[in-house]
A = this chain, B = another copy of it.
Amino acid sequence: VSLSERGEFGFIERMRSWLPDGGATVGIGDDAAVVETTGNSVVAATDALVEGVHFRSDWSSPSDTGFKAVSVNVSDIAAMGACPRWILLALCAPPETTEEVLRGLYEGIEEACAAYGTELVGGDTVRAPQLTLVVTAIGELEGKEPVTRSGAEVGDVVAVTGPLGRAAVGVNLLLSQDAKDSSPEDAIACMAAHRRPRARVDAGAQLHQVAAHAAIDLSDGLGSDARRLSESSGVGFEIDLGRVPVAPEAGRIAAARGWDIERIVLGGGEDFELLVALPREQLEGTDWIEIGRVVDDGLWLVRDGQSVPLPDEGYDHFRT
């Protein structure tokens, strides 16, 4: 059964039967969703995933794509130190999209909602030439101050909340269409990191406990996200390349294939770990990894004891 056979309103009826009952005051099926908030701050982010640009249907299952569409938005909420709560989905789909695909997308969305404690409360379904998922995530600060990109202070430690490089190695494996000379476990872990990233909601909730000065989620690569954090804060960053934690699976595959792991980590993106600037004494008690420090100005990479300008290798959607 395709969308064009079911029709828009037939599909919405059916889709509602796939979803659990939620806690929204007004959920799916009215003009707008109504939710009850605590505190007086609401945090909102919207991100689009376009087939052929952000995902490929021959690489990712519909469920992967649904999961990822929620993750990338929840990650933005977590990077503000906020708690993600509600999800809206604008689904743009070709008329020939099958119910199997739609069902898979919503399964992935529901799995992500369950993982993050969020609820799908509304959306829109429209015809489009290319499958596109635009998710809006709404979260709450629950009385706390937002952790922005602009508060890093000279002397802060720069840390990441986990190892990097899996998703970018996963994409390279998928592009090379050949994972045969890698360990299957390593290849699967890296491809899964691309297909079904996990937002660091736990680390986001920790940002206040460590009095973090600034944070950003690593979506475009350590190089360009560090640049963004430092520019927003009006300070410089010095990154010790030797301290940057490379995910072991990613490191092994890159080594076996002769891929430049430095470039992958700096330019690869989609790790969705948080990059945080915080007071040095606060790092203790976290399992975050110190990778550098906030300095007066400039963006520096310390490689083999030599300080060099940080390469600008991040992903830009429009540059070719």
Decide if B33 touches A44 in the complex (CB within 8 Å): yes
Decide if B124 touches A47 in the complex (CB within 8 Å): yes
Q: Which of A4-12, A110-118, A153-161, A293-301 contacts B (4 or more CB under 8 A)?
A: A4-12
When all copies of this chain in the complex are counted, the total is 2
| Per-residue contact bits, chain A 26-46, to B (CB 8 Å; 1 contact, 0 not) | 100111111111101111111
| Per-residue contact bits, chain A 89-103, to B (CB 8 Å; 1 contact, 0 not) | 110100100000000
- How far is it, in angstroms, between the C-alpha of A45 and the C-alpha of B88 when the chains are bound? 8
CB of A317 within 8 Å of the partner chain: yes
Chain B CB count within 10 A is highest, among A9, A47, A149, A216, for A9
CB of A3 within 8 Å of the partner chain: yes
Chain B CB count within 10 A is highest, among A136, A137, A319, for A136
Q: Which A37-64 residues sit within 8 Å CB-CB of chain B?
A: 37-38, 40-48, 50, 52-54
Q: Which residues of B contact A3 (CB under 8 A)?
A: 318
Q: In the complex, which residue of chain B has the Cβ closest to the Cβ of A86?
A: B44
Q: Which residues of B contact A269 (CB under 8 A)?
A: none
Decide if B36 touches A125 in the complex (CB within 8 Å): no
A residues neighboring B (CB under 8 Å): 3-4, 6-9, 11, 25-26, 29-38, 40-48, 50, 52-54, 75-77, 79-80, 82, 86, 88-90, 92, 95, 121-130, 132, 134, 136-139, 141, 146, 148-150, 215-217, 232, 316-320
